[in-house]
């Protein structure tokens, strides 16, 4: 399950508004706002899964370790992008 902070960070990396993510994940805007709430509001697991899948499809990778959680963005279209030549 993704955390509120991960959802907000992933959306920021993509430059998406809450409206854009809700539309891509096929969830209500209210449900997304509940997930991203700092108050830890309850959200259905299926809603979290839809949001996670939409973000992953856009190149987001969710990270979790003993030191905490995070996100990163990868270029899904070109996983082995060559370095720019100087």
Q: Is the pLDDT of residue 81 over 70?
A: no
Q: What is the CATH number for 13? A: 1.10.260.40
Find the domain containing 34 and state its range. Answer: 4-73
Ramachandran sector of residue 40 (left: φ over 0; alpha: ψ -120 to 50; beta: rest): left
pTM value > 0.85: no
Q: What are the φ and ψ backbone dihedral angles of 23, each rounded to 5 degrees?
A: -65, -45
The answer as to whether 82 is a domain residue is no
The answer as to whether 46 is a domain residue is yes
Q: Give the three-class secondary structure for 57.
A: helix
The answer as to whether 49 is a domain residue is yes
The answer as to whether 78 is a domain residue is no
Tens digit of each residue's pLDDT (9 = 90 or more) over 31-56: 999 999 989 789 999 999 999 999 99
What's the domain count of the chain? 1
* pLDDT band at 76; cut points 50, 70, 90: low
List 42's β-bridge partners, or say none: none
Calpha distance 21→8 (Å, rounded): 10
The answer as to whether 15 is a domain residue is yes
Q: Where are the alpha helices (DSSP H) in the chain?
A: 4-14, 18-25, 29-36, 45-57
């Amino acid at each position: 399950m993704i955390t509120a902070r991960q959802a907000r960070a992933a959306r920021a990396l993509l430059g998406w508004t809450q409206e854009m993510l809700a539309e891509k994940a096929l969830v209500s805007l209210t449900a997304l706002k509940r997930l991203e709430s700092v108050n830890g509001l309850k959200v259905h697991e299926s809603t979290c899964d839809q949001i996670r899948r939409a973000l992953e499809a856009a190149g987001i990778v969710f990270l979790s370790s003993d030191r905490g959680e995070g996100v990163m963005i990868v270029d899904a279209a070109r996983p082995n992008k060559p370095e720019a030549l100087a």
